[in-house]
Chain A
Amino acid sequence: MKLSELGAFELLPMIKRKEVSVEEATVGILNKIKAVDRDIQAYITVTNEHALQRAKEADLRLNEGKPPRPLEGLSVAIKDNICTKGIKTTGASVYLEDFVPPYDATVVRLLEDAGAIIVGKTNLDELAMGSSTESSAMFPTKNPWDLQRVPGGSSGGSAAAVIADEAVFALGSDTGGSIRQPAAFCGIVGLKPTYGLVSRYGLIGYASSMDQIGPMTKNVRDCAMLLNVIARHDPKDAQSYTGEPVDYTQFLIPDINEVIVGVPKEFLNKGLSKSVKDAFMKALNKLEGLGAKVVEVSLPHSDHALAAYYVISSAEASSNLARLDGIRYGYRAAGCEDSASMTAISRGKGFGSEVKRRIVLGTHILSKGNFEKYFNDALKIRSLIFRDFEKIFKECTCLVCPSSPTVAFRIGEKIRDPLEMYLSDVYTVPPNLAGLPGISIPCGFDEEGMPIGLQIITKQFDEATLLQVAYTFEQATDFHKKKPQLQKYDCGSESTRGDRNV
């Protein structure tokens, strides 16, 4: 196994024991990026110098005898809609192509303070709107399992980077499935925490009532480690959870004997592909075999979830993105006659078509007459869905369902059909509407070798149970150990310093 292939929980003890220096570990990742990212295109920005500098500082600390920090020397990729001080944060938009934030997102501060090394900023659908990373204004990211396919989205860059060993782990953001769906498409672990558990400060807002930052990792243990660091109350986010921090790694015990798993019957009908359904049924059997009790449950209002989601998220997005006006920062169209036309033309040129579609939709939804018709109705559906879940969690420990109805589709396949694309999030959207945590873990492969994800959902702030069920399943299966074949790009790495065999 190569150094770059190690998960956080394997690499961290080696760094602590000084078997590997932080610099070696970091160089390993940077070399891997150099080797494969020309084809995968997971990164918009690779922070070579910054990372090496930080790595050297970390080694110095350790050599001075300072105690290693919780994520000491672990290379992390950050989705490029999360602000990094002094490092370009583009949101994969022409509008923010040259935007260098003067501040760090709270999660970035927490990660760096915990010793993690930022190796780069990953690609996404423009401003996190999309399910394939194709709407990125920079380039589409390729799925490392099949370069003809999308990695999912919007956190497609982070998912691809993690499975291709271009980072030890990554941060993504999830408003309607943007962590879990690409995690499923790329065969990694992706967690969308309970709304409010992780600070949103510094995350470029898409739909503020649902946006959450979360870990994207090679395994459930790494996920718990990363969550431990980022799940902190933040006075800069008024919606931030005020509870005490929890050590999530203590719940990594493979035991689900007391667990009652609910399966929403509505999720196994139309649109679900056969291979995903098969893998899901096998996963259910596995869970049962591990001691869980499986029961059928109903989410009667889930049919309306996607519609409610697009109404609310577009409305919020239309307002959140109004600040991008060509005046204080970002793209400014030249030669405009006055400030109003400057704003109009800058936005017209700075945004791609998916973003514009949602801004127009959202503006329409909030307009007089429509607000009552669409927005209020969507809020009603939202509370009905919340109640559906509440009812289910009175009898179930958790819910399971596929993370997405299909495996990763081909690049270009759905880009011209937004509605078809939106269906990709049909299973991930309900937890966002209800503010619940959801995780996607690998649960199989289709006949073409594409990964399939299993989504687990629990009640609010019950990430402990979520991780325990996920861990139990993971420990009893081997799906997370499989890697895409990238030897073609791995040439010469034997001799490259920092990517030695371990």
Chain B
Amino acid sequence: MFEPVIGIEVHAQLKTESKLFCSCSARFGASPNSNTCPVCLGLPGTLPVLNKKAFEYGIRTALAFNCKVAEISGFDRKNYFYPDLPKNYQITQQASPVGVNGYLDVVIDDETRRIRIKRVHLEEDAGKSIHEGGDITGAVFSLEDYNRAGVPLLEIVSEPDIRSPKEAYEYLSMLRRTLLYLGVSDCKMEEGSLRCDVNISVRPKGSDSFGTLVELKNLNSFRAVERSLEYEVKRQSELASENKEIIRETRHWDEEGQTTVGMRRKGLAEDYRFFPDPDLPRLIIGESWIEKVRSDLPELPGERKARFIRDYELPEYDASLLTDTQQLADYFEEAAKEYGHAKTVSNWIMGELLRLMNVTGIGIESVKIRPCDLVAMLKMIDKGTISGKIAKTVFEEMFTQGKSPGDIVKEKGLVQIADEDELTKIVDLVIQDNQKVVEQVKAGKDRAIGFLVGQVMKETKGRANPQMVNELLRQRLAGEN
């Protein structure tokens, strides 16, 4: 039996206004080369000046991942020639990253797994190359867009602690969720603001040695990470069990074929000639700065989930889903506090709200139903003003129109009919019109009564109080005997 040993490197673009070392906008999607200046174009004589905000985001993230924040941090140059890299070196943190030795707890099948985080460091992003007619060596010409050059990146490197593709998926989800809670990154994989590289090897279960490392690229979603790892675990385990050689290489995930394809052999390790960037002074991060950033940390997803289970007595599943985003959790919490019975609120959010959001593609931030509207609706059910069934209709109206439940109920005349006289009239009418069924009920086919209830509901367009209808029907039918 073989087990996979997996490590993940995540690059997250920071959501700062400006780039890491100049005042150009760091926004995505501007026309090519419009967000550039002499500094991020690497013109001669220009110098980098650190964006304090970006660095603070680094500290914030390091703290959230339980890292030790460096007392003295600094920047190094990683030297390599590539057309999308304006200075032909990347300013990064090799020797003194902002954070080291942290961890992230991930819950898988009710079991908490602690994935250690080796380091969190800041670096600048490169530009983007477009090669016309082939790759960089075969292209007719290449175009360079330097808008992205200098955008702050946070690199988060895990230890090789991940033991299954599913764990990898959960680790990434938790990491992404945490970054979103921290508000430091958009984490949009489709825009490239979150990228991951995965290292995987296999070894006999129980062994503490490491197998030959394979790096996976072109992973455009967490699903792709999981699938490619499933494929690799199988491929490598098969090779290993047949005593065949696993080649140290970079493999490309082929989404269409759902396979990995070897790209290039990893020969000698590349030599990036790291050395401290003489343009940037060392940063002495004082305890007071760290404490200030720490005190500004939001409640993180793991903590919030635990609190939801504890304080609102929610099942783990509910708490997990509700804390997926900060906004959803806030939404739940506002409604739950006002309403009191948290599980009911959770049911409505997880059932109706998430369903409608899914169908319409609307995010929680654009949902028109305010938490207080949801609570108002729940109270109407409790008071018997509307039935639970009608409530679903009301909720849909609230979702599409954004009106209060009271208004919708009034406008559409959806108030529940709970008047005994009125209902008796309708029940009698239904009994009269459905003598065959009545006979069946009387003959002991109790289930047939459901049909009669349905008929009453139909007559009242669903507004009848179902419990009352049931009771009345039984009374009348019993009375006829």
Contacts and interface: CB of A to CB of B under 8 A. Distances in A.
B44 interface: yes
A105 B139 CA distance: 37
Contacts of B142: 339
B88 A237 contact: no
A42 B455 CA distance: 105
A323 B86 contact: yes
A322 B279 contact: no
B279 A239 contact: yes
Nearest to A330: B44
Nearest to B88: A322
B47 A367 contact: no
A366 B273 contact: yes
A328 B41 contact: yes
A109 B307 CA distance: 58
Contact of B137 (A102, A237, A338, A368): A338
B49 A236 contact: yes
A201 B81 contact: no
A425 interface: no
B137 A316 contact: no
B298 interface: no
B400 to A, nearest CB: 52
A138 interface: no
A208 B275 contact: no
Contacts of A209: 278
B275 A366 contact: yes
The B interface is mostly helix, strand or loop, or mixed, namely loop
A324 B44 contact: yes
Contacts, number: 110
B43 interface: yes
Contacts of B279: 205, 208, 238-239
A154 to B, nearest CB: 15
Contact of A316 (B43, B45, B278): B278
Contacts of B49: 235-238
Interface centre among B43, B47, B79, B88 (most CB of A within 10 A): B47
Contacts of B274: 366, 371
B117 to A, nearest CB: 26
A440 B46 CA distance: 28
A270 B289 CA distance: 53
B88 A323 contact: yes
B144 interface: yes
Interface in B119-176: 136-137, 139, 142, 144
Given A319-B273, A339-B142, A371-B273, A105 B45 contact: yes
26 contacts: A82-B45, A89-B45, A91-B44, A101-B38, A102-B38, A103-B38, A103-B46, A200-B45, A201-B46, A202-B45, A204-B44, A208-B277, A208-B279, A238-B279, A239-B279, A322-B81, A323-B86, A325-B81, A327-B83, A329-B43, A338-B139, A339-B142, A340-B81, A340-B136, A343-B83, A368-B273
Interface of B: 38, 41-50, 77, 79, 81, 83, 86-89, 136-137, 139, 142, 144, 271, 273-275, 277-281
Interface of A: 81-83, 89, 91, 96, 99, 101-103, 105, 200-205, 207-209, 235-239, 315-316, 318-319, 322-325, 327-329, 338-340, 343, 363, 366-368, 371, 375
